[in-house]
Structure formats: C-alpha cells, structure tokens
C-alpha cells in the first residue's frame, strides 16, 4: 500500500475527474471486502452509497456482526472508534479524522476520571458519544435508542453517574424517576433549537407532530410529541398517519424519511442564531465522496486505539449490546 500523507486528517489526493466515483467506490469495496456504514446525519450522497445506514446503536450492532475485512465508517470519530473497539482485528477507516463531536469533546477523560473518583459507589453510564478513553472509564454505554431500557434494568437504589449529555440525562431522570448525577456536557447542534421557532412552526402547521432528539434542551423536549433517537424518529414517521412533521434534530435524517415516505412533508426546525432553514452538524458534513474514495483506495486514515484502552472500553459496549 502506497504511503500517503494524512497530516490534514484525510488523504488529500486529487480524484481523476473522468471517473464515475460512485462506481469506483463500489468496485473498491468489492475488491477489498470493505463495507461502508453511514449515519443518518451524513450528506444524502454518502447515505446513498452506504451499504448500511443506521443510528449509533445499529452501527455498533452491524460492526459486531460484519464479516468484511475493512469497515469504512461515514459518521464522526467516536463512531469509528466504536467499530474498532468491537472489531480490533479489522481495519476501520474514517474519511476524515477531523470529524469530531462537540458532545464527546465536552467530556475529557482526565476530568471525567476526577469526577468519578469524587463520587465513589456510583455505576458509570456513558452515552456512546464519547471517546474510547471515556468509554474505558465507563461501566455501561448507552445510545439514545436504548438509554431508557438499560437504566430501567439497574436496581432502583443504584447510584448512577451519567455522562456526558446533560439534556439526555435530565430527560432520563424525568422519565425514570431517577436522580442520576449528570456530567455537564451538551451537543452544540441540538442545543441550538429554539423554542420560539418551534412554537411558530406549530402555529403554521398545527397538525404536524414535533419529533425531537433527546439531546435537545428541556424546553424543546416538553413541547415534543415524540422524543427519540434518529431511528426512533424515522420509525415514528413510518408508522404515523400524519402527513407533516416538524423535525428537531440534524436535518440529514430527513433524507431517509423522504425516501421511505415520499408522500409526507418534513419541516426542519432552524437553529436559533441564523436565518438558515435547517440545523446541520458541521462534523458530519465533512464526509465527501472524494474522501470516501481516497480512504478506500489508500486504506487511510485508520482508527487506531491502544489495546489497554480498547479492552476496557469494549466491556462497556458489550454490556450495552447485551442489555439492549
Ligand atoms: P443517534 O444515536 O440517534 O443516531 O444519535 C447520534 C448523534 O450523534 C446525535 O447527535
Ligand atoms: Fe456530535 Fe452533536 Fe454532531 Fe451528534 S449532532 S455528532 S452529538 S456534534
């Protein structure tokens, strides 16, 4: 394999202008026994070339089962790490190492360890939007699809530290009657949905239910008709007789909803600080077809995790998958 420069976080090589890039990506996948896993927040053209698309939970479950030699994760960095933690023997690639996550960044391992040490006797439950090092400090991982189900399985008197998302943590506290100790982190994208704009949209579309991701602030969640993961929101739309839906999560999710429900209308909630019509995660949008092509061709950038951290992090994810 040719040695390539990835100092920019991705393979910065020009892609020949005369190739059919989608066809070449498919060809490379076949030749190398590679599989592309894309998250619902990816740009539409990336979702369309993915072998599987899913929410964080589904992507972890798929990684655990795949027989591919190479997994290319089109999402953000922690999603690539989750695949590598579960499949240490496989090559796990991401198109761009700069695709981080503001929520994962809001919980640095050194500070999280200090927090845990200051509160002995607690079970540590972490949202999957965390680095491998934070997962290594965690007893059980959760995603927005299974957080409620997993917390409900813990004894009622079990003291719990929940990190890093204060909004998801507060939401689970309110639905489960728990008093989990929360890490003070948040997602910069979901925190931007404004209640005012949602109330305006509700007036404009009185029949449209509001569907929100639990990373949104409490004042958004209380006016939502449904709160759930990306997959949960898609399922809600699929099973509803309504024709219009107000969507309070990253707008990439609308691509799959439209595909499955061409007769329905989706109204994205805009962020509070702009005139844009929808709210996008800048990290998710770093993936391009060119970066996907180069990642497969040069098998870079690769996710690498020290075995010590990986083995500790694996326990928290495997426990989650068993309890899901
Ligand atoms: P899901 O687990 O619902 O796919 O969400 C992941 C995420 O990053 C939400 O911002
Ligand atoms: Fe992270 Fe928020 Fe982007 Fe999800 S939407 S990947 S939580 S920054």
Question: Tens digit of pLDDT per residue, the chain (324 long)?
Answer: 778 999 999 999 999 999 999 999 999 999 999 999 999 999 999 999 999 999 998 998 899 899 999 999 999 999 999 999 999 999 999 999 999 999 999 999 999 999 999 999 999 999 999 999 999 999 999 999 999 999 999 999 999 999 999 999 999 999 999 999 999 999 999 999 989 999 999 999 999 999 999 999 999 999 999 999 999 999 999 999 999 999 999 999 999 999 999 999 999 998 776 656 668 999 999 999 999 999 999 999 999 999 999 999 999 999 999 998
What's the pLDDT at 75?
Answer: 97
Ligand 2 touching residue 129 (CB < 6 A):
yes
Chain Cα centroid distance, residue 237: 19
The span from the CA of 7 to the CA of 178, in Å, is 45
CA-CA-CA-CA torsion for 88, 94, 97, 101, nearest 10 degrees?
A: -90
CA proximity to 145, closest of 123, 163, 124, 129? 129
Q: Ligand 2 centroid to 3 CA: how many Å?
A: 32
Q: Ligand 1 centroid to 312 CA: how many Å?
A: 23
What's the pLDDT at 274?
Answer: 63
Neighbours of 138 (CB within 10 A): 27
Ligand 2 touching residue 103 (CB < 6 A):
yes
Ligand 2 touching residue 101 (CB < 6 A):
yes
Query: Ligand 1, residues 73, 77, 215: which to mutate, most atoms within 8 A of Cβ?
Result: 215
Ligand 2 touching residue 78 (CB < 6 A):
no
For residue 228, which ligand has an atom nearest its CA?
A: 1
DSSP letter for each residue of 133-157: HHHTT-SEEE-TTTHHHHHHTS-TT
Q: Ligand 2 centroid to 157 CA: how many Å?
A: 32
* Residue-range domains of the chain with CATH: 21-99+284-306 (3.40.50.10800), 103-186+313-323 (3.40.50.10800), 193-268 (3.40.50.10800)
The span from the CA of 89 to the CA of 69, in Å, is 8
Query: Ligand 2, residues 143, 166, 188: which to mutate, most atoms within 8 A of Cβ?
Result: 188
Atom number, ligand 2, closest to the C-alpha of residue 282:
3
317: which 2 tokens?
């994810």
How wide is the angle at C-alpha 141 spanned by C-alphas 137 and 145, nearest 5°?
160
Alpha helices in 156-286 (DSSP H): 166-176, 195-204, 218-221, 230-239, 253-260
The values of phi and psi at residue 215, to 5°, are -80, -5
pTM of the full structure: 0.95
Ligand 2 touching residue 36 (CB < 6 A):
no
For residue 165, which ligand has an atom nearest its CA?
A: 2
Ligand 1 touching residue 82 (CB < 6 A):
no
Nearest CA to ligand 2 atom 6: 101
Ligand 1 touching residue 187 (CB < 6 A):
yes
CA proximity to 315, closest of 143, 159, 148, 141? 141
Q: Ligand 1 centroid to 13 CA: how many Å?
A: 30
CA proximity to 78, closest of 162, 165, 148? 165
For residue 186, which ligand has an atom nearest its CA?
A: 2
Query: Ligand 2, residues 39, 74, 96, 101: which to mutate, most atoms within 8 A of Cβ?
Result: 101
The span from the CA of 141 to the CA of 162, in Å, is 10
Ligand 1 touching residue 55 (CB < 6 A):
yes
Query: Ligand 1, residues 78, 127, 129: which to mutate, most atoms within 8 A of Cβ?
Result: 129
Residue ranges with strand state E in the chain: 34-39, 52-54, 70-74, 91-93, 123-127, 140-142, 160-163, 181-182, 210-212, 226-227, 244-248, 265-268
Atom number, ligand 1, closest to the C-alpha of residue 101:
8
308: which 2 tokens?
């010590």
């Amino acid at each position: 394999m040719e040695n390539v420069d990835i100092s920019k976080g991705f393979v910065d090589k020009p892609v020949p202008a005369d190739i059919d890039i989608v066809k070449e990506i498919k060809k490379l996948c076949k030749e190398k026994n590679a599989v592309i896993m894309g998250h619902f927040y990816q740009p539409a053209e990336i979702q369309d070339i993915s072998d599987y698309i899913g929410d964080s939970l589904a992507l972890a479950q798929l990684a655990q089962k795949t027989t591919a030699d190479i997994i290319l994760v089109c999402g953000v960095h922690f999603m690539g790490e989750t695949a590598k933690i579960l499949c240490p023997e496989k090559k796990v690639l991401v198109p761009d190492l700069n695709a981080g996550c503001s929520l994962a960044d809001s919980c640095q391992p050194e500070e999280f360890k200090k927090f845990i040490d200051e509160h002995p006797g607690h079970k540590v439950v972490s949202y999957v939007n965390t680095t491998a090092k934070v997962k290594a400090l965690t007893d059980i991982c959760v995603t927005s699809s299974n957080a409620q189900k997993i917390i409900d399985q813990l004894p009622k008197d079990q003291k719990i530290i929940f990190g890093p998302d204060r909004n998801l943590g507060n939401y689970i506290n309110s639905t489960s009657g728990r008093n989990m100790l929360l890490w003070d982190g948040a997602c910069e994208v979901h925190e931007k949905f404004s209640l005012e704009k949602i109330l305006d949209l509700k007036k404009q579309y009185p029949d449209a239910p509001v569907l929100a991701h639990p990373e949104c602030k409490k004042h958004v969640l209380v006016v939502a008709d449904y709160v759930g993961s990306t997959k949960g929101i898609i399922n809600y739309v699929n099973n509803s007789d309504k024709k219009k839906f107000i969507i309070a999560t990253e707008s990439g999710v609308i691509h799959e909803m439209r595909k499955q429900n061409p007769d329905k209308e989706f109204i994205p909630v805009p962020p509070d600080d702009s005139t844009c019509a929808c709210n996008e995660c800048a990290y998710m949008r770093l993936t391009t077809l060119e970066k996907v092509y180069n990642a497969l061709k040069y098998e870079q950038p690769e996710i690498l995790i020290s075995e010590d951290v990986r083995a500790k992090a694996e326990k928290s994810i495997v426990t989650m998958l068993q309890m899901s």
